Amino acid sequence: MNYGFLSSFFQKDLFLVLGFVFECLKERGMAGSNEVNLNECKTVVPLNTWVLISSFKLAYNLLRRPDGTFNRHLAEFLDRKVPANLNPVDGVFSFDVLIDRATGLLCRIYRPATAEEPEPNIVELEKPVVGDVVPVIIFFHGGSFAHSSANSAIYDTLCRRLVGICKAVVVSVNYRRAPENRYPCAYDDGWTAFKWVNSRSWLQSQKDSKVHIYLAGDSSGGNIAHHVAARAVESGIDVLGNILLNPMFGGQERTESEMRLDGKYFVTLRDRDWYWRAFLPEGENRDHPACNPFGPNGRSLEGIKFPKSLVVVAGLDLIQDWQLAYVEGLRKAGKEVKLLYMEQATIGFYLLPNNNHFHTVMDEISEFVGSDC
């Protein structure tokens, strides 16, 4: 666990935090049924991060309807998107590919611009990658299965970073979302994208003429990465590693962290429940294996060649007990897993490069992917 040095930061701010907590306790009387203590989470993240995540929270509250439907038009209107861009920005260019017309499945491909080809030519977008080993990261964006897209600005930015950090090609999958498209659509789209990537000759590493695939994702994307990996290994295709950032898992019981952190750091149990209800098949509960892969309806991975995993858990994420249970499940089945527990991190810490957790995690990801040379 890699959180030791962070606690010193916490100690220095202890008095500040205590002061705020005192204020919060005073104001607790005014909280309505959605008890959210804003001052507390304001102390643990930089102000602009707080503004960003709070804005998302506000928008998301508007979009979820009590009857389980979703205001998709408003969601698309509010989401900040960026187009693909053949002009390299900070050494990375991108383009979209329609990989399945029937479902309209798009992926956005991010590639590093090379010294020889600083301005990529339109005909050479699918030029073979150069290198003995070129990692290809298939990325599944987060959004609790309902929000965001591959072209959302937050994810476009994150994918670009991954290219630089891992010297990889990143393929971001624009999977179908809930509640319009429930389980297993997102997984099916992930699988379609996986097969597509695996069959691209231009993505093959020169060493062995194979595509070196990593699966990565945050929140619901992390969940998708797990399930696609499981399907891949079942089909006999190698996955070199899974990178799960604050992966979205859950279960029917209420865990300690869920109750302790409910409403404290941008996320409520109520909204988590809403998203599971929107994604899982109607009538299913949260012990469905999609939600709870190592739960009562889950399946052991023992004897299966599941890839090594890097799992990042934010210490202020209310679903951390489920994420830790996931890690435990992998360990019990004898799978290689590295847990990064970021004690003072909230959800979304990886969206802005303005905190230590961000840099720690990026370094770990780089090492995780780089160690296969």
Partner 1 sequence: MKRDHNHLQPNPDPSSLRGAPSTGKAKVWDEESAQQDCGMDELLAVLGYKVKTSDMAEVARKLEQLEEVMCNVQDDGISHLASETVHYNPSDLSTWLESMLSELNPPSTFDPFGAAGTAAAALDDSFLVPAESSTLTTLDFDNINRKHQKSGQQIFEEASCSDYDLKAIPGKAIYSQKTQPQTHDSSSSSTPTNVKSEKRFKSTSGPPSPSDIFPPPPPPAAASYGIPTASTRPVVLVDSQENGIRLVHALMACAEAVQQNNLNLAEALVKQIGFLAISQAGAMRKVATYFAEALARRIYRFYPQNPLDHSFSDVLHMHFYETCPYLKFAHFTANQAILEAFEGKKRVHVIDFSMNQGMQWPALMQALALRVGGPPAFRLTGFGPPSHDNSDHLQEVGCKLAQFAKKIHVEFEYRGFVANSLADLDASMLDLRPSEVEAVAVNSVFELHKLLARPGAIDKVFSVVKQMKPELVTIVEQEANHNGPVFLDRFTESLHFYSTLFDSLEGSVSSQDKVMSEVYLGKQICNVVACEGVDRIEGHESLTQWRNRLSTAGFSPVHLGSNAFKQASMLLALFAGGDGYGVEENNGCLMLGWHNRPLIITSAWKLTNKTTAISQ
Which residues are catalytic, by number?
A: 219
Which residue among 3, 21, 96, 304 contacts partner 1 (CB under 8 A)? 96
- The answer to whether 2 contacts partner 1 (rule: CB under 8 A) is no
Tell me whether residue 107 or residue 232 sits nearer to partner 1 (CB atom).
107
- The answer to whether 28 contacts partner 1 (rule: CB under 8 A) is no
Separation of alpha carbons 108 and 361, rounded Å: 23
Among 216, 202, 120, 198, residue whose Cα is nearest residue 161: 216
Cβ of residue 274: shortest distance to partner 1, in angstroms?
14
Tell me whether residue 239 or residue 312 sits nearer to partner 1 (CB atom).
312
- Identify residues 247-266 at the interface with partner 1 (CB under 8 A): none
- The answer to whether 230 contacts partner 1 (rule: CB under 8 A) is no
Which tokens sit at 144? 């609790």
Tell me whether residue 224 or residue 365 sits nearer to partner 1 (CB atom).
365
Which stretch, 218-226, 249-257, 293-301, 359-367, contacts partner 1 (CB under 8 A)? 359-367
Evaluated on CA atoms 149, 155, 159, 162, the torsion sign reads negative
- The answer to whether 201 contacts partner 1 (rule: CB under 8 A) is no
Which tokens sit at 163? 């290219």
Strand pairing of 241-245 and 169-173?
unpaired
Which residue among 20, 106, 308, 312 contacts partner 1 (CB under 8 A)? 106
- The answer to whether 3 contacts partner 1 (rule: CB under 8 A) is no
- DSSP character for 210? B
- The answer to whether 25 contacts partner 1 (rule: CB under 8 A) is no
Separation of alpha carbons 134 and 209, rounded Å: 11
Q: With contact defined as beta carbons under 8 Å apart, do 94 and 111 qualify? A: yes
Within 13 A of 141's CA, how many CA atoms are on the CB side?
A: 27
- The answer to whether 223 contacts partner 1 (rule: CB under 8 A) is no
Tell me whether residue 186 or residue 325 sits nearer to partner 1 (CB atom).
186
Q: Which residues pair with 89 in a beta bridge?
A: 92
| Residue 258: C-alpha distances to residues 21, 128, 245, 297, 349 (Å) | 20, 47, 18, 21, 19
Separation of alpha carbons 320 and 83, rounded Å: 34
Kindly report whether the peptide bond that precedes residue 179 is cis, defined as omega within 30 degrees of 0: yes
Binding mask 271-300 for partner 1 (x = CB under 8 A): -----------x------------------
Determine the residue type at 116.
Answer: E
Separation of alpha carbons 373 and 371, rounded Å: 6
- Identify residues 35-94 at the interface with partner 1 (CB under 8 A): 36, 38, 42, 45-48, 50-52, 54-55, 58-59, 61-63, 65-67, 69-74, 76-78, 80-87, 89-92
Cβ of residue 279: shortest distance to partner 1, in angstroms?
12
- The answer to whether 270 contacts partner 1 (rule: CB under 8 A) is no
- The answer to whether 362 contacts partner 1 (rule: CB under 8 A) is yes
Among 232, 281, 234, 260, residue whose Cα is nearest residue 37: 260
Determine the residue type at 352.
Answer: L
- Identify residues 137-156 at the interface with partner 1 (CB under 8 A): 151, 153-154
Tell me how many residues contact partner 1 (CB under 8 A).
88
Tell me whether residue 31 or residue 130 sits nearer to partner 1 (CB atom).
31
- The answer to whether 34 contacts partner 1 (rule: CB under 8 A) is yes
Cβ of residue 335: shortest distance to partner 1, in angstroms?
25
- The answer to whether 170 contacts partner 1 (rule: CB under 8 A) is no
- The answer to whether 118 contacts partner 1 (rule: CB under 8 A) is no
The torsion angle over the Cα atoms of residues 133, 136, 137 and 139, rounded to 10 degrees, is 180
